[in-house]
Amino acid sequence: MEEASLMADLERFLEDRCLSVLNLPQKGRSLFATRGFRPGEVILSQKPYICVPNNNNNNTSSSSESRCDGCFKTNDNNLKRCSGCQVVWYCGSSCQKSEWKLHRHECKALSTLDKEKRKFVTPTIRLMVKLYIKRNLQNEKVLPVTTTDNYSLVEALVSHMSEIDEKQMLLYAQMANLVNLILQLPSVDLREIAENFSKFSCNAHTICDSELRPQGIGLFPFVSIINHSCSPNAILVFEEQMAVVRAIDKIPKDSEITISYIETAGSTLTRQKSLKEQYLFHCQCARCNNFGKPHDIEESAILEGYRCADEKCTGFLLRDPEEKGFVCQKCLLLRSKEEVKKLASEVKRVSENAPASPSAENKQGAIELYKTIEKLQVTLYNSFSITLMRTREKLLKMLMDVESWREALNYCRLIVPVYQRVYPATHPLIGLQFYTQGKLEWLLGETKEAVSSLTKAFDVLRISHGTSTPFMKELSAKLEEARAEASYIDRQTYNDDN
Ligand SMILES: C[S@@+](CC[C@H](N)C(=O)[O-])C[C@H]1O[C@@H](n2cnc3c(N)ncnc32)[C@H](O)[C@@H]1O
């Protein structure tokens, strides 16, 4: 397809979906709605231009730790390594066949690398190798070129090349060298590859499953037109490898569509730091524009600051102007610098011994360590602290792994109110946490509570995930079953009482 015809097609594609792209001076290309969208409505969806699963290519990685290149499933121990390149895994011949047109070229290129070099073939390196192979196959008309699946969309992505620091540039140059060694394409120059790595950094997306667990990375150049906001009106989720953007708020006609690129639970400074580091821009969304205002100061102190020395007080602390410590803004009690420092270094000391991902054998030991950290953090931080929330998330996961359901439920119930405070009401993490809570309550015989939690989970997740995916159908079926059980229990109790 010619460039001009592709552009005309793109405009029609946008028009059909009631969308338009405008160039804003501060943000560059920006996606706008030309009609109103309701919460839960799909705004757009796109298959990846290229994608790869999150596999680690050291020689010790096993099939149980790897993902199929076609469907990204782990499939227990049943994955088979590609006999040609020994880098890529497949769950069966169907996925292998569907990937072959592209992989046959990648396979040949990877096979020329010695074993040592193959260890450096990270998902990002593979993404780049696949990008060039796909571009060439589309140029040679082996693969079709369509409105939303063509290299011109990749060319249009922002790279921020002129703003990259020397250290990062050196890293990109090293990565580009490896890609060049793999591809051995005389027409591809190193600077262009480095620029594409920079494009990946601010445009590629992590592909997650319905429970928001990362599975791989992909380039969705059309979705990449959407700018960031710390209080977005849309969300990006994935249905298998398809990127789906849904409205999470009412989006009026002519408004900009925004998603969040980062974890939005955090102070304005924390959010701005991570946006600047990875996406190289200064966010001026409505939430960020509140920086320094009383509500923003309070929110930062609650999410990232210390708790009042009086256990019963729920006030938040601000630095004392005389630098003696931190003063509670509710009861005015001073918490000394020395006390805070002592507790913080104790948390640090214990945390250093806590494994980030404990093995099956030392899970019980890790649980005890994390409980000690949690106890210390409860005395140091506010009850809505992000750090405390992360510790509790880790504990919840480990307790689920060792099937300590009651304790897991207790932690789940501690996490939900924090999520409700730090995330907007339609954030899928709130729905997922209610889902876990509901399943635990049901398992522990608290059927009425389970119905309430599963209903809340469904109400949130139907906005971000829609209702038609297998994941949502399973949630809906569980909810129906729990409701039936609860009404059976109600009838039994009524009969017993009469
Ligand atoms: C995924 S791209 C989004 C589309 C981009 N505006 C374009 O022209 O292609 C990410 C880049 O867009 C810009 N951007 C995204 N959100 C922004 C915002 N809220 N304010 C300013 N720039 C933003 C930054 O340059 C960022 O690195």
- What is this structure's pTM? 0.94
How far does Cα 474 stand from its chain's mean position?
Answer: 22
CA angle 106, 108, 113 (to 5 degrees): 95
Centre of ligand 1 from the C-alpha of residue 39, in Å: 23
Domain end marker among 422, 457, 484: 422
Burial-class residue 268 by CB neighbours within 10 Å (0-12, 13-18, 19+). Answer: buried
Query: How many C-beta neighbours within 10 Å does residue 496 have?
Result: 7
Q: How far apart are CA 412 and CA 111, in angstroms?
A: 47
Q: How far apart are CA 16 and CA 321, in angstroms?
A: 58
Domain end marker among 422, 447, 481: 422
484 and 341 fall within a common domain: no
Q: Quick check: 176 pLDDT over 90?
A: yes
225-253 per-position pLDDT tens digit: 999 999 999 999 999 999 999 999 999 99
85-96 per-position pLDDT tens digit: 999 999 999 999
378 and 318 fall within a common domain: yes
Pocket perturbation via mutation, ligand 1, pick of 26, 160, 228 by most ligand atoms within 8 A of CB: 228
Residue 34 near residue 254, CB atoms below 8 Å? yes
The torsion angles phi and psi of 218, rounded to 5 degrees, stand at -155, 160
> 259 in a domain, yes or no?
no
197 and 102 fall within a common domain: yes
Percent of the chain with pLDDT over 70: 97
Split at pLDDT 50, 70, 90, the class of 9 is: confident
Instruction: Please list, in sequence order, all residues whose beta carbon lies within 8 angstroms of the beta carbon of residue 230, skipping any fewer than 6 positions away.
Output: 260, 262, 264, 268, 271, 283, 285, 287, 288
Split at pLDDT 50, 70, 90, the class of 361 is: confident
> 29 in a domain, yes or no?
no
Residue 491 near residue 485, CB atoms below 8 Å? no
Helix, strand, coil content of the chain in percent (nearest 5)? 50, 15, 35
Residue 66 near residue 94, CB atoms below 8 Å? no
**Cα torsion at 111, 112, 117, 119 (round to 10°)?**
0
The verdict on the CB of residue 281 being under 6 Å from ligand 1 is yes
> 119 in a domain, yes or no?
yes
The verdict on the CB of residue 227 being under 6 Å from ligand 1 is yes
| Ligand 1 atom index nearest CA of 158 | 9
The verdict on the CB of residue 138 being under 6 Å from ligand 1 is no
366 and 465 fall within a common domain: no
323-337 per-position pLDDT tens digit: 999 999 999 999 999
pLDDT for 330 equals: 97
> 464 in a domain, yes or no?
yes
Name the β-bridge partners of 306: 381
267-289 per-position pLDDT tens digit: 999 999 999 999 999 999 999 99
- The tally of domains found in the chain comes to 3
Q: How far apart are CA 157 and CA 125, in angstroms?
A: 18
Q: Tell me which DSSP letter residue 257 carries.
A: P
Q: How many residues make up the chain in this entry?
A: 498
Closest CA to 152 of 285, 263, 8, 283: 8
Pocket perturbation via mutation, ligand 1, pick of 10, 32, 46, 158 by most ligand atoms within 8 A of CB: 158
Q: Quick check: 1 pLDDT over 60?
A: no
Q: How far apart are CA 435 and CA 107, in angstroms?
A: 41
Split at pLDDT 50, 70, 90, the class of 64 is: low
Q: How far apart are CA 467 and CA 461, in angstroms?
A: 8
CA angle 210, 214, 220 (to 5 degrees): 85
Q: In this structure, what CATH number is given to the domain that contains residue 341?
A: 1.25.40.10
Q: How far apart are CA 350 and CA 368, in angstroms?
A: 11
Centre of ligand 1 from the C-alpha of residue 172, in Å: 21
Evaluate the CA torsion angle 444, 449, 451, 454 in order and state its sign: negative
395 and 344 fall within a common domain: yes
| Ligand 1 atom index nearest CA of 224 | 1
The verdict on the CB of residue 228 being under 6 Å from ligand 1 is yes
Centre of ligand 1 from the C-alpha of residue 25, in Å: 11
pLDDT for 2 equals: 63
24-53 per-position pLDDT tens digit: 999 999 999 999 999 999 999 999 999 999
| The pairing of beta strand 334-336 with beta strand 50-53 | unpaired
| Amino acid making up residue 319 | R
How high is the mean pLDDT of the chain? 94
377 and 441 fall within a common domain: no
Residue with CA closest to ligand 1 atom 26:
279
> 263 in a domain, yes or no?
no
> 330 in a domain, yes or no?
yes
The verdict on the CB of residue 225 being under 6 Å from ligand 1 is yes
Domain end marker among 422, 456, 472: 422
The torsion angles phi and psi of 172, rounded to 5 degrees, stand at -60, -40
457 and 365 fall within a common domain: no
Residue range 119-138: mean pLDDT, rounded: 96
Name the β-bridge partners of 236: 245
Q: How far apart are CA 236 and CA 244, in angstroms?
A: 6
Instruction: Please list, in sequence order, all residues whose beta carbon lies within 8 angstroms of the beta carbon of residue 130, skipping any fewer than 6 positions away.
Output: 50, 52, 102, 106
Split at pLDDT 50, 70, 90, the class of 57 is: low
Q: Quick check: 187 pLDDT over 90?
A: no
Split at pLDDT 50, 70, 90, the class of 62 is: low
Task: Report which of residues 285 and 119 the model is more confident about.
Answer: 285
> 94 in a domain, yes or no?
yes
Instruction: Take residue 224 and report the two structure tokens written for it.
Output: 């990449």
Q: How far is CA 347 from CA 317, 344, 351, 355, 388, in A?
A: 19, 5, 6, 14, 11
Q: State the residue range of the domain holding 465.
A: 424-498
> 286 in a domain, yes or no?
no
The verdict on the CB of residue 28 being under 6 Å from ligand 1 is yes
Residue 154 near residue 222, CB atoms below 8 Å? no
The verdict on the CB of residue 26 being under 6 Å from ligand 1 is yes
Pocket perturbation via mutation, ligand 1, pick of 217, 255, 258, 279 by most ligand atoms within 8 A of CB: 279
Q: What is the DSSP string of 296-322?
A: HHHHHHHHHSBBPSSTT---BEEE-TT
405 and 434 fall within a common domain: no
175 and 311 fall within a common domain: no
Q: Quick check: 80 pLDDT over 90?
A: yes
Q: Quick check: 59 pLDDT over 60?
A: no
418 and 429 fall within a common domain: no
| Ligand 1 atom index nearest CA of 279 | 27
333 and 434 fall within a common domain: no
Q: Tell me which DSSP letter residue 255 carries.
A: P
Q: How far apart are CA 26 and CA 261, in angstroms?
A: 17
Residue range 47-67: mean pLDDT, rounded: 80
| The pairing of beta strand 205-208 with beta strand 50-53 | unpaired
Instruction: Please list, in sequence order, all residues whose beta carbon lies within 8 angstroms of the beta carbon of residue 319, skipping any fewer than 6 positions away.
Output: 326, 327
B/e letters for 292-314, b = 16+ CB within 10 Å, e = fewer, are eeeebbebbbbbbbbbbbeeeee
446 and 392 fall within a common domain: no
